[in-house]
């Protein structure tokens, strides 16, 4: 398709919306992003850019910038709290690695690239509905409407309000905080480290590099918390939390002392990707899940790149949407299923599942073939998603 003739309206300036907008605009399309925020800004702390997401950023010419900001991750390692028993051991292999990056750093890189490519932003634009058709539009709070486009994209994340009842929240969320990385501390600068107590408590430390030039190296500290316990946690106060942290993982007490944690809640859903004629969902609006497998941001990048290659190889928008779904559906189905199955082993009230995890599953993950399979699963590369989208 000729991109110069395309007129695209995107609701949501998150990872999926921004990367799609940049790639479209750089190819000549007219792109407007509508976001509810008063100014575009990131939500959340840090995450691991896997080789899949890195391949998309490389295609966009932005990988070097992301790598400069982030921290190389070559191992993910988890132990039972208070013991030396390893129950999670994932390596990337010799030639591959993840890049742990602060959300604000990736957001800045994507936003700058989108502006440079000519994307227009409309802020304080809260979408409430979409009107399908040959020239679909986004209806906004206060009676505003987007321009009539050739294609409308719902990139509004897991809480997208469009045309559905939101999926129920998962029982567990987590406190997330970005804290200074302790130089010469007990943590490895290239590893995600986790501790578990049954499946009801999980804590983690991830080095995430710098947000901007000259700012200090940081870490993301996370602490799982049942959503129904959030008020009790708040009223108990910081001293009580620090006491819990000291019992579970004493080395992380300095993080809890400094943290200004935000409580994140998760949903699991796979919605219909096509929400109406010429209306497409990408990223978490299509498929949201707990961050247990750490794929969401990478999936949003893959969705965006897949739509681009599909448009490049199709004669009409309808053909492009069909090709895009063919390229992405299997990978999404597989990861949604895996995440749904695995999350309760790490985040639930079950007493049986963590025992199965520690006694039956953990030892098998040390077998050479299993190690390879698990490595491919966690890096997002199972079923070759990058090849599938023809990047
Ligand atoms: C705590 C936590 C940890 C995570 N860790 C990882 C990880 O390690 N690895 C990983 O790959 N993923 C991780 N994820 C998942 C990842 O953050 C998401 O999958 C990813 O951000 C999805 O991108 P998106 O573009 O679909 O949506 P988002 O990035 O959520 O962006 C949605 C955008 O839509 C806007 N918006 C929402 N509603 C409206 C509206 N009504 N009108 C207009 N605009 C609207 C928002 O302001 C926002 O800008 C984590 C998520 C959380 C919450």
Per domain, the residue ranges of the chain are: 3-167+267-388
Q: Does domain 3-167+267-388 have CATH number 1.10.3080.10?
A: no
pLDDT at position 315: 97
Q: Is the CB of 176 under 6 A from ligand 1?
A: yes
CA 20 – CA 149 distance, rounded (Å):
15
pLDDT above 90 (res 93): no
Q: Is the CB of 70 under 6 A from ligand 1?
A: no
pLDDT above 70 (res 43): no
Q: Is the CB of 223 under 6 A from ligand 1?
A: no
For residue 203 the two structure tokens come to 């804590």
Q: How confident is the model at residue 27 (pLDDT cuts 50, 70, 90)?
A: very high
SS3 243: helix
Q: Is the CB of 173 under 6 A from ligand 1?
A: no
Q: Mean pLDDT over residues 38-63, rounded?
A: 91
Q: How confident is the model at residue 39 (pLDDT cuts 50, 70, 90)?
A: confident
Q: Mean pLDDT over residues 136-150, rounded?
A: 96
pLDDT above 80 (res 339): yes
pLDDT above 70 coverage of the chain, percent: 99
Q: Is the CB of 170 under 6 A from ligand 1?
A: no
Per-residue b or e along 207-241, where b marks 16 or more CB atoms closer than 10 Å to that residue's CB: bbbbbeeeeeebbbbbbbbbeeeeeebeeeeeeeb
Distance 167 CA to ligand 1 centre (A): 15
Which of 123, 290, 297 is the pocket-test mutation for ligand 1 (most atoms within 8 Å of CB)? 297
Q: Mean pLDDT over residues 220-230, rounded?
A: 96
From the list 336, 342, 328, 325, the residue with the least C-alpha distance to 295 is: 336
Work out the angle at residue 298's Cα, subtended by the Cα atoms of residues 381 and 318, and round it to the nearest 5 degrees: 95
Q: Is the CB of 209 under 6 A from ligand 1?
A: no
> According to DSSP H, which parts of 156-252 are helical?
230-236, 238-248
Task: Ligand 1, residue 37: give the atom nearest the CA.
Answer: 47
Q: How confident is the model at residue 168 (pLDDT cuts 50, 70, 90)?
A: confident
Mean pLDDT, all residues of the chain: 95
Q: Is the CB of 283 under 6 A from ligand 1?
A: yes
Q: How confident is the model at residue 250 (pLDDT cuts 50, 70, 90)?
A: very high
Q: Is the CB of 354 under 6 A from ligand 1?
A: no
Upper half-sphere CA count for residue 182 (Cβ side, 13 Å): 14
pLDDT at position 166: 73
Task: Ligand 1, residue 128: give the atom nearest the CA.
Answer: 41
pLDDT at position 364: 86
Task: Ligand 1, residue 53: give the atom nearest the CA.
Answer: 11
pLDDT above 70 (res 352): yes
Looking up tokens 């492009």 gives 320
Q: Note the pTM of the prediction, 2 decimals.
A: 0.97
């Amino acid at each position: 398709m000729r991109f110069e003739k395309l007129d695209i309206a995107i609701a949501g300036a998150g990872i999926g919306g921004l990367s799609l907008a940049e790639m479209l605009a750089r190819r000549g399309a007219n792109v407007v992003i509508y976001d509810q925020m008063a100014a575009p800004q990131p939500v959340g702390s840090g995450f691991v850019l896997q080789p899949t997401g890195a391949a998309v950023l490389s295609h966009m010419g932005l990988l070097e910038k992301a790598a400069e900001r982030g921290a190389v991750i070559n191992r993910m390692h988890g132990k039972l709290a208070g013991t030396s028993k390893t129950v999670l051991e994932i390596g990337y292999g010799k030639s591959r690695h993840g890049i742990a990056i602060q959300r604000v750093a990736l957001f800045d890189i994507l936003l700058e690239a989108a502006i440079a490519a000519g994307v227009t932003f409309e802020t304080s634009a809260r979408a409430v509905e979409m009107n399908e058709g040959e020239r679909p539009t986004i209806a906004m709070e206060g009676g505003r409407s987007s321009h009539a486009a050739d294609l409308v994209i719902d990139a509004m994340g897991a809480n997208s309000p469009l045309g559905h009842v939101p999926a129920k929240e998962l029982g567990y969320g987590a406190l997330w905080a970005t804290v200074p990385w302790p130089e010469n501390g007990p943590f490895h600068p290239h590893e995600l480290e986790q501790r578990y107590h049954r499946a009801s408590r999980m804590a983690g430390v991830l080095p995430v590099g710098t947000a901007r030039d000259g700012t200090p190296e940081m870490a993301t500290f996370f602490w799982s918390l049942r959503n129904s316990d959030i008020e009790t946690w708040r009223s108990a106060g910081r001293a009580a939390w620090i006491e819990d942290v000291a019992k579970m993982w004493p080395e992380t007490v300095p993080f809890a002392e400094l943290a200004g944690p935000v409580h994140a809640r998760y949903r699991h859903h796979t919605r219909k990707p096509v929400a109406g004629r010429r209306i497409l969902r990408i990223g978490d609006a299509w498929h949201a899940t707990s961050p247990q497998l750490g794929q969401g941001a990478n999936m949003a990048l893959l969705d965006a790149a897949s739509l681009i290659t599909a448009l490049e190889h199709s004669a009409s928008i309808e053909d492009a949407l069909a090709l895009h779904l063919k390229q992405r559906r299997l990978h999404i189905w597989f990861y949604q299923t895996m995440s749904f199955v695995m999350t309760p082993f790490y985040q639930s009230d079950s007493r049986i599942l963590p025992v199965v995890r520690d006694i039956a599953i953990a030892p098998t993950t040390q077998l050479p073939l299993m190690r390879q399979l698990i490595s491919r699963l966690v890096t997002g590369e199972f079923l070759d998603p990058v090849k599938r989208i023809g990047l």
